[in-house]
Structure 1
């Protein structure tokens, strides 16, 4: 869920910074790059389709030959050869067309798979702040609607378009062989068709691009409203959110109707072109037969050739509808794959002597006037556990994510384990943030042979669909069953894991065995143990457990962090008590730092927080 600074989802996000859309030139260049590894298959498929189409063009002359035989009053046995040849043509064309379309389809699926892989890889590496500025709906619309539209075009439109274009070119060539005047007559339809295509394309590109953007905005608004329903109701924002959803839905419907009217006008113009061309060919045939220039059969073949163009021409032009829609979707996908990684230009920065993590004058803003951190400096010694505390909105989660590398600071540097390096090694094991690889402008050390340098665990835990063992091995693919059990035992989760219907082989996640929030969080902590990073960041990782499971989960987190440098955003102050040091944030600035006893004695902001929290725990409960 994307939240505004006020914490109310969707209250100030009408101007979301959508993810980029590639230009037409860039989209075509990306398509050529995707096809390049399979040029051989592309040429083979094209060659076979050319042969199939050429064979099919023998049908019209053979039918014309039959007309001439009948017109000349020849005996019936003269029809045997052309009829047999028609059957042979049908069989050969059917077989070769199937082979050619199969090659084209395989090419399309291969290219589509390659595009999906690139899109998913880049989407998983998007900096969290960049994704939040765009909104989850934009990325969701691309990974669902746009991918589906491109896939549909690849599976149906691409093979049909290839066959139609070949049929048009070769049929016009065959008409020229009959008599060039038939070709000239047929070409009278071309200006109308060309103007129709130009008229359509100029409007369709904008309409379909706007339609996809509107659908993404609509999806984003629905996600925010439904995801934050409790907050919306609590702040009495139902009417405001309903109006926003209705406004974005009206925009989507308006653009859909524009596309419908566009298609209707497109078809009407195509029919006019067909009538003009067919009339011209028939009139030309009449005069040529009357002058003795061609036979009735030849004129019949020319008319049949032009009539056979109705299907391919209309298919090719109608497929412009799918092509423009798919091109708009492809541009949105390529736009994501082209997002530059800003970490490549980072200078090298060293941590302070003896420090595992150094935060040096770090500032961060989510936009103009939305600064949440102000030149924060902090050093974590190797093996030290530091708790971040402060009121809501103090900047605790932002600082934790900057240290973890899933966001980039707008000022200052963050260095981990000695040297700031652009290749980074941050990974999220909670599922609320996908692995980023550290490829953002936050200083990270390169991952070592045992795993990443920094692991982030948030309260937004995702249980991936698959067996429990597969879910755990996301952190370390080569882990043995013994390693998995050891990790689960470390976080006190082995007992319930082995009690599942099929133990570690139990399917969990969507459609599988449901894990409650506390167990899902223990699963994330077990992944942390398996990844075995030198630095761990916990962002309110025990917040979803509820009071009943809080102590167990805090014990699990404490065990998972043993022997590591840790930065913990403390949801409960009992976590702060157990830390080596407590850092208090207020309005994006460090206002206190020290142990629990030192800060209580100082009677500053932390002492105030402690008294308020202790009082709420000891207050009598009422019904």
Structure 2
């Protein structure tokens, strides 16, 4: 797949978004930090009590005092458990709220990404961001952040407690710092690149798997199993290399970090023991500081482990934010001043050096019905995509109301010009809700009028629950023609000033197609309709006909004018008429 891919947000953008999340939920974050801090303080009491108990027993304390200290330690453990329970609950609820906002914003951004860019990037790239990256961010927000917060607060308070307990022994902890600094610097320099490559490797993998699954019948019919297996093996091999890179990273970090964590335990015990022999500290103090050193191991290991997950989550967060940057870059702020639609010397190539449109200029008269005809592969659908602003011309300009399509805000562009193709999608919802997607505040009567305009109202009344019947996945099954009628009803409800029909009636028999187009013409009187003709009967009904041949506009005029010229259109018409007006007359 060539062409641009969906971008990743820069580090400054990621930091800005994180600061925004902090500002929005600052109070709740403070509460969570305070709860974790209180639970960590409660957890510091038992080691201290053990040290005091050791000194008391050395001084000759009896069972009663030992029992009192034991009961006190148990009380602190219970208090810590309760505080941890409330802290984790608060952190999870906060994480869920943050993730819900991020997910909703992401889905809003996805729906505003220009379709041309999505197609250039490949379906696998977008699927990866909506599944793998969302899942990674979810894991980060729901688990990695709270767990890292617990670990960080525990480490800070434990270090402070050790220093307060014995300023003489606690500096022994610093012996682990040089090794930790070297290990973490080595890790941080490599982690971002490793996770960026890992995230990018999922796109081709999902694309290959999806293509194979969707084309299963073709694969079976043409005996392409070996070919598709090799394709999947290739992307799996590339993904495996990136995944192994992550494993190798952890294989280096974890052993050395574990060694660093063990240093404070042995150092405080050895140094504290010597100080105790010298009479500078008590045995109980040595025990307490050593227990604090041992207590540091678990949260430090958690920090290292969750740092890995945080790196992965930040890379995924940058990929998700990158979709939002595409939305921000889509279109400008220019507004059309009229309903004119025009192409000015446009050229277009899907791949460099393979131009499919060659200097096409065409002005559509507002309110007219224009049919675009031509042989299969002539460039008709590409022309429609340029007019709708889905693709940008390689050269030249596509204009709406005197403004370059690229400069019109994406949402406004979709209200001005609407492209309807032969591919329609029915969502898992009722018939009414499927049509109402085009205008969410439309009344039932307005939806019904749109259905009547496309001829769908009659068969809808015969459905089990009428217009409230659930259709789409898991619902009532519809024919291809019925699905297209619902899709066209959405267009009627959306009410654009220019409508582009790219073989939108190809799944309906010729008589039904002509009836449907006649109904649409009546409903859309005064609006511009551009029909990519699949049947020449469609062209016959048009005000003007544009003939595309090998990526060039070769003829333009009415049906009678083009027949009189005896050119390409006349040849197509004679061939189509001789074939009895079959559906394959154009292609």
TM-score clears 0.5: yes
Q: Deviations over 1:228-264 (max 9, x none)?
A: 5677788887655543322111111222223223323
| Contact 1:580-1:595 at 8 Å conserved across structures | yes
DSSP 3-state at the match of 1:567: strand
Q: Give, in angstroms, the shift of residue 50 of structure 1.
A: 1.9
- Give the distance between the partners of 1:26 and 1:477, measured in 2 at CA: 33
Give unpaired runs (5+ residues) of structure 1. 1-12, 426-435, 439-443
TM score, norm. by length of structure 1: 0.86
Matched with 2:345 is 361
CA contact under 8 A between 1:576 and 1:582: conserved in structure 2?
yes
Instruction: Report if the CA contact (8 A) 2:422-2:505 is conserved.
Output: yes
Equivalent residue for 2:329?
341
After TM superposition, give the deviation of residue 287 of structure 1 in Å: 1.1
Equivalent residue for 1:215? Answer: 202
Q: Distance in 2 between matches of 1:159 and 1:266?
A: 22
Select the residue among 530, 534, 542 that pairs with 1:571. 534
**Cα distance in 2 for residues equivalent to 1:599 and 1:237:** 45
Q: Which residue of 1 aligns with 2:487?
A: 524
Q: Deviations over 1:9-39 (max 9, x none)?
A: xxxx2x4532112233332222222332222
With over 3 angstroms needed to count, the CA separation of the structure-2 counterparts of 1:16 and 1:263, relative to structure 1, is farther
TM-score by length of 2: 0.91
Alignment of 1:56-67 (within 5 A): 56-67=43-54
Q: Is contact 2:348-2:394 (8 Å) kept?
A: yes
Distance 1:223 1:120, change over 3 A: same
What secondary structure is seen at the aligned counterpart in 2 of 1:344? coil
Q: Give the C-alpha shift of residue 174 in structure 1.
A: 0.8
The aligned residue for residue 400 of structure 2 is: 416
1:405 aligns with 2:381: no
Q: CA deviation at 1:493?
A: 0.8
Name the stretch that deviates more: 527-536 or 147-156.
Answer: 527-536
Could you tell which deviates more after superposition, 607-616 or 595-604?
607-616
Aligned counterpart for 1:373 among listed residues 336, 357, 381: 357
Q: Is 1:70 aligned to 2:44, yes or no?
A: no
Q: CA deviation at 1:462?
A: 1.3
Instruction: List per-residue Cα deviations over 1:73-120 (Å, max 9, x = no partner).
Output: 312221344334323323332333333333333333333233223322
Q: Distance in 2 between matches of 1:247 and 1:463?
A: 34
- Alignment RMSD, CA only? 2.9
3-state SS of paired residue (1:366):
strand
Given candidates 283, 289, 296, the residue that maps to 1:302 is: 289
Instruction: Compute the displacement of 1:526 (Å).
Output: 0.9
1:257 aligns with 244
Match of 1:180, SS state, is coil
CA distance 1:616–1:421, change in 2 (3 Å): closer
Secondary structure at the residue paired with 1:371?
A: strand
Partner of 2:126: 139
Query: Which region of structure 1 is more displaced relative to structure 2, 180-189 or 92-101?
Result: 92-101
User: What CA distance in whole angstroms lies between the structure 2 residues aligned with 1:34 and 1:19?
Assistant: 24
The aligned residue for residue 538 of structure 1 is 501
- The structure 2 residue matched to 1:128, chosen from 115, 126, 130, is 115
Check whether the contact 2:165–2:285 (CA below 8 A) recurs between aligned residues.
Answer: yes
* Residues in 1 aligned to 2:282 and 2:95: alpha-carbon distance in whole angstroms: 44
Distance, in Å, in 1 between the alignment partners of 2:563 and 2:127 is: 47
CA contact (8 A) 1:350 1:415 kept: no
Contact 1:464–1:508 (8 Å) recurs in 2: yes
SS at match of 1:92: helix
* Residues 34, 115 of structure 1: 8 Å contact kept: no
The answer to whether the 8 A contact 1:129-1:407 is kept is yes
Q: Tell me which residue corresponds to 2:468.
A: 505
Distance in 1 of aligned mates of 2:3 and 2:247: 28
Distance 1:600 1:298, change over 3 A: same
Between the aligned partners of 1:246 and 1:216, the Cα distance in structure 2 is: 14
1:430-579 paired onto structure 2 within 5 Å: 436-438=410-412, 444=413, 452-545=415-508, 550=513, 554=517, 557-558=520-521, 561-579=524-542
Report what 1:582 is aligned to.
545
Offset at residue 561 of structure 1 (A): 4.0
Shift of 1:573: 1.9
